[in-house]
Chain A
Amino acid sequence: MPKIRFDTLLFAQVLSFLVAVSPVQDLAGSDVANDQGGVIRLSWTAPTDSAPLGGFRIYRSQSSDTGFTVVGDEAASASEFLDGTARDGQKYFYRVVALAPADSAGVVADSVLSVVTGPVSSKAQWFNASRLNILIFSAIICGLFIFYIQRARKGVKMFVRKIAGLDAIDDALGRATEMGKPIMFSFGLGYITDMVVIAALPLLRKVAMKSAEYSTRLLVPNSDPIVMTAAQETVKEAYTEMGRPDFYSADNVNFLTSDQFGYAAGVDGIILREKPGAIFWLGYFYAESLIMAETGHSVGAIQLAGTTETTQLPFFVAACDYTMIGEEIYAASCYLRPEPVMLGTLKGEDFIRFWLIVLTTAAVVMGTLAAILAKQAPWLQTAYDTVVKWATPAY
């Protein structure tokens, strides 16, 4: 943007009735809500009766008449500006200059000042009011979980349906042992921060304990060093618990590469060389999932898969013998260790899911009726919009 001296802007304002550019209207400043302070929002209405605009320049001062300095520029299409350099509690005054387009030499022919707006100051909020609905829903959900945990602790019996994939673990391990083939376990490309990797660790522990019991070699190739470390400790502890600490070898629980297709190539190589009898795909997978699962199928391994990446579930369903869909993998630790406290969280999940189905169905019916009866009952559309706005989280 070309430079303009402020005193020439004053001259331009005096002669504004002669120039084509008109000043901006409705200039207003306010503190940005629900933030940690330091930001002021300016908004204005661009002049409609003006010649084409080149942009806007924003000035700020701590007094209403002198000391204005440039704090930023905006394009001609903009109608607001965020000043992120404000100090909390300090009062500021703003004005916006509408600029005509610059000529080929970069000189702006004319410009015109707006009136001053202010005083405006920024401040930090102690609560993000736009997230009140999330707080309420979270409190309800957590309260229900804790209610069912307490109920389970009091001895109330809770039913858990059969999960075919988890029931098949023992069969798969037995089959691999009978065939004299190793077992393979893969977390995919997951990081330790992925919930599914944490959910898969109890399953690795169970598989490791069985492999120690049957003296079957367990291979765990990893794509993340932290996951590798967690897997090594899990396997080592499982072997120690089964009285076979000597069975552990760091070469079997190793790091391949963090590259997606490099990992797929490495795992495929291990599958084709070692020919495992059972393969567990439990973690986070992307496009490489089918490459690895099909290779596992080609060597005749029994495969069990579980992932939270919904785009890869169809591939695992097609290529694997058992697939855990959705939150079945999260339920694994509760299923393997059916303690009352663990089952209580499953029950809480089911209860919340039931009410989510009821509420979602009610909202769909309400929205459909609101669309059909838009003329006869406009209040229904208003009510529906209010419900949707309240239920939709703001970030």
Chain B
Amino acid sequence: MLKRNLPLVIVFVTAMLLVVAFFIPHRPFGDLESRFLNWYTIVSGFTFLLGLDSLTRHHLTRVFRRTGDWGYSLVLVLSLFATMGLGFYSWFKFQSPFALRAPFMWLYTYMIIPLQATMFASLAFFIVSAAYRAFRVRNFAATLLLIAACLVMLGNVPLGSSIWRGMAQLVHSVAPNLDGSKLAGLEVFAAVKDWLMSIATASAVRGITIGLQLGGIAMSLRIILGIERTYMS
């Protein structure tokens, strides 16, 4: 019974302390939030040892058992310890692994950052493939999505401005009384894009956000009152 109820008591008391600390600036309540955050940071730092244990155990097992693609696991383990070693060496030699002349900083700048950038760059191709599937005229909602996406894209790229100028020239040639340069200066695609992003999209996002915050409050209350206990597994 203690094993089941003690965590609930700890959660309730801690939550109540933090709620009270939000409204009472006087010591010792005013410092509670930052103190708890510091404790969390310290504890979570130690939990990285758990992650390290999981990672090395998993991949060393694959290496020793020579399971499929064990070579990649070997590369991972060697890279892990090499990076760790470089980090410690840089710390001892340069007082910080992120010192400009430190080998760890070289590794970070010329290997880790380019790898991250490569993965991020691949997002462009995935967006194209997702857009190809999503922007099809299947129903009214999908058609609306397609039109909105086209307008936003045209409003964001210089090509949209060029297309609008061409259209303005065309209108001027058909109706000479209309000033083509003034029409071109309206930049309609950019204006429509701005309206879609700042009015239409923002209102929808705010509606979802209000719902999320209410859901978060309800979830928090369930956790504080001990109704929701799955996280205690």
Seen from chain A, the residues whose Cβ lies within 8 Å of a Cβ on chain B are 34-37, 124-128, 131, 134-135, 141-142, 145, 149, 191-193, 195, 198-199, 201-202, 205, 222, 224-226, 228-230, 233-234, 237, 250-251, 254-262, 264-265, 273, 287-288, 290-291, 293-295, 297, 308, 310, 313, 315, 317-319, 325-327, 329-331, 333, 341-342, 345-346, 348-349, 352-353, 356
CB distance from A249 to the nearest CB of B (A): 10
Smallest CB gap from B61: residue in A: A251
- Listed by A's residue number, 13 A-B pairs whose Cβ atoms lie within 8 Å are A125-B26, A128-B22, A205-B233, A225-B48, A225-B50, A225-B51, A228-B54, A229-B50, A237-B233, A254-B54, A255-B55, A290-B126, A326-B215
Interfacial chain B residues near A341, Cβ < 8 Å: 227
A346 to B119, CA, bound (A): 40
Minimum CB–CB distance from B102 to chain A (whole Å) comes to 19
Shortest C-beta distance, B73 to chain A (Å), equals 11
If A145-B218, A290-B130, A345-B221 touch, does A308 touch B212 (CB 8 Å cutoff)?
yes
Within 8 Å of chain A (Cβ to Cβ): is B122?
yes
Verify A230–B40 contact, CB threshold 8 A. no
Known: A230-B231, A264-B119. A348 touches B218 (CB 8 A): yes
Any A CB within 8 A of the CB of B140? no
Which chain A residues border B170 with CB–CB below 8 Å? none
Chain B proximity of A163: nearest CB distance (Å): 13
Indicate if the CB atoms of B24 and A291 lie closer than 8 Å: no
Q: Does the CB pair A201–B23 fall under 8 Å?
A: no
A353 and B211 contact, Cβ closer than 8 Å, known pairs A198-B231, A290-B123, A290-B127: yes
Once the chains are docked, how many angstroms separate the CA of A35 from the CA of B129?
A: 53
7 tightest CB-CB pairs across the interface, nearest first? A327-B215, A225-B51, A330-B215, A36-B30, A261-B119, A318-B134, A255-B51
Residues 173-227 of B at the A interface (beta carbon under 8 Å):
205, 208-212, 214-223, 227
B85 CB-CB contact with A under 8 Å: no
Across the interface, do A36 and B212 meet the contact criterion of CB distance under 8 Å? no
Residues of chain A lying within 8 A (CB to CB) of residue B214: 327, 349, 352-353, 356
Q: Which residues of A contact B216 (CB under 8 A)?
A: 195, 308, 327, 330
Partner of A198, one of B31, B61, B212, B219: B219
CB distance from B164 to the nearest CB of A (A): 26
Which residues of chain B are near A330, meaning CB under 8 Å? 212, 215-216, 218-219
Chain B, residue nearest A263 (CB): B119
- Beyond A229-B47, A327-B215, 11 additional pairs, beta carbon < 8 A: A37-B26, A141-B217, A199-B219, A225-B47, A228-B50, A290-B126, A294-B129, A327-B218, A329-B215, A330-B219, A333-B222
- Give a binary string over B110-134; 1 marks a CB under 8 Å from any A CB, 0 the rest: 0010011001101100110111011
- Tell me if A201 and B230 are in contact (CB < 8 A): yes
